[in-house]
Structure 1
Amino acid sequence: MVFRSIVPLAPLALIAAAPAAVPAAAQASDLATVQRHLQGITTMTADFTQADRNGKVLTGTLTWKQPGNIRFQYEKGVPLLIVAEGGALTFVDYSVRQVQRWPIRNSPLGVLLDPKRDIAGFAKMVPGDGRLVSVEARDPKHPEYGVITLVFARNPAAPAGLSLQGWVALDSQNNRTTIRLSNQRYGAPVAANAFRWTDPRRTARN
């Protein structure tokens, strides 16, 4: 799986963990709020900034529609595209006409794109700044799927009072990607064809 410097993440500075553990009652309450947030989203659009462990930074726009659809459209001049639709996550590199696909559930983004999944069984709260809610998710049965830490700001105007600020993804090879989100907009119409993509392998054969 190629989640390395290709998948969007969130500011590491937001996840300044305190040494104390999160009390069980508070953890259950915040996890339930995160679950309601994911279930309450119909659509979201945002700008994103993506940084990998080598310091390479890319920008672009995010389009998200529940259930199971997301698109990372990179800035002009970057020949990459990430799209989730139909239960699959697709990475396209137009510069080399390469397409890679794998089940969404096998990627860190699966936690975002399946709102019916009960996160209590594979996620835990990360202690830190009280203005933020940070959740670390991993599948203990499948460590090869990687780890994702989602960071939310408390925002009464957003679904369930939370606004997703970004995430940090760590794959099984310890490749870290950080995504920061800005200009989040919830509930706006999203075109039916927003998650379509052009297969560069077809154009190569023509």
Structure 2
Amino acid sequence: MNRLIKNVRLFAGAAASAALVVSAAVAVSAQAPAAQGDLAQAVGALRAIGTMRANFVQTDRNGRKLSGVLTLKRPGRIRFQYEKGVPILVVSDGSALTFIDYSVRQVQRWPIRNSPLGALLDPNRDVMKYGRLIPVDNRNVVGIEVRDKAHPEYGVITLLFVRKASAPGGLELSSWASLDSQNNRTVISLSGQQYGLAVPDSTFRFNDPRATTRR
């Protein structure tokens, strides 16, 4: 279990350290018009999500897995509720991504703007400026790689979408992979996506293990 908790911490750290946009000077990738159309559609699909709930499986570079439920509410809010027995929570309240380890009463926070999850959470992020399409064998799958080439230390996030008419924007986010500067790779795979659910803001609060007050 200690190893699994470490892997969750690496996931949260990778999410916080890989900045999607640190400068407006990041240029749009020079790609064919059709490719740019797929990229624009994927960006539109992300922005079309109001609320979403899905099952997730998190896999680390050694193949170890954890599962749980992801809840998303735009703008800015996300919750990774891990399976029973894992004393970890990753949650964003709209301003910061917070990692809570209840086993050691530790709380760490990172601004959303410094997180690759900003592509999911911040409607003002222009993925077109720092993302590019990547080759995918399946024509029903769209892949986007997001990185700042001027700052490789920020890492990379790769998003995969499946074409689905009933999903917002016609594309359904199926997985993403975060790769940090230490080559720690974490993959999040989604299933059972549900959209347009009523999700109260209290979903994105957490019990602070350092105090008795609720945050």
Q: Equivalent pairs: percent with the same residue?
A: 57
Question: Counterpart of 2:21?
Answer: none
Question: Counterpart of 1:105?
Answer: 113
**What are the equivalent positions in structure 2 for 1:39-50 lying under 5 Å apart?**
39-50=47-58
Please give the alpha-carbon distance, in whole angstroms, between the structure 2 residues aligned to 1:195 and 1:96: 21
Tell me how far 1:35 sits from its aligned partner: 1.4
Question: Counterpart of 1:139?
Answer: 148
Distance 1:59 1:6, change over 3 A: farther
Amino acid at match of 2:70: L
Instruction: Give the 3-state SS of the residue equivalent to 2:211 in structure 1.
Output: helix
The answer to whether the Cα contact below 8 Å between 2:75 and 2:94 also exists between their aligned partners in 1 is: no
What per-residue deviation string (whole Å, max 9, x for no partner) do you get for residues 80-134 of structure 1? Answer: 1100113101011111111110111112211111122111110000111211011
Question: Counterpart of 1:126?
Answer: 134
Given the alignment of the two structures, is residue 149 of structure 1 paired with residue 155 of structure 2, yes or no?
no
Moved >2 Å (runs of 4+): 2-9, 139-145
The answer to whether the Cα contact below 8 Å between 1:60 and 1:75 also exists between their aligned partners in 2 is: yes
Question: Counterpart of 2:199?
Answer: 190
- For the aligned residue pairs, the C-alpha RMSD in angstroms reads 2.0
TM-score by length of 1: 0.86
User: Using CA pairs below 8 Å that are at least 6 residues apart, which structure has the higher relative contact order?
Assistant: 1
Tell me how far 1:145 sits from its aligned partner: 2.5
Please give the alpha-carbon distance, in whole angstroms, between the structure 2 residues aligned to 1:131 and 1:3: 33
Amino acid at match of 2:103: S
Aligned with residue 190 of structure 2, among 181, 195, 201 = 181
Amino acid at match of 2:82: Y
Please give the alpha-carbon distance, in whole angstroms, between the structure 2 residues aligned to 1:8 and 1:75: 21
**What are the equivalent positions in structure 2 for 1:12-161 lying under 5 Å apart?**
24-128=32-136, 129-161=138-170
Question: Counterpart of 2:211?
Answer: 202
Please give the alpha-carbon distance, in whole angstroms, between the structure 1 residues aligned to 2:56 and 2:43: 22
Please give the alpha-carbon distance, in whole angstroms, between the structure 1 residues aligned to 2:14 and 2:189: 8
Gaps of 5+ in 1: 10-21
Tell me how far 1:40 sits from its aligned partner: 0.8
The answer to whether the Cα contact below 8 Å between 1:107 and 1:146 also exists between their aligned partners in 2 is: no
Tell me how far 1:161 sits from its aligned partner: 0.2
Please give the alpha-carbon distance, in whole angstroms, between the structure 2 residues aligned to 1:146 and 1:193: 31
Question: Counterpart of 1:19?
Answer: none
The answer to whether the Cα contact below 8 Å between 1:8 and 1:51 also exists between their aligned partners in 2 is: no
The answer to whether the Cα contact below 8 Å between 1:80 and 1:94 also exists between their aligned partners in 2 is: yes
Please give the alpha-carbon distance, in whole angstroms, between the structure 2 residues aligned to 1:140 and 1:65: 30
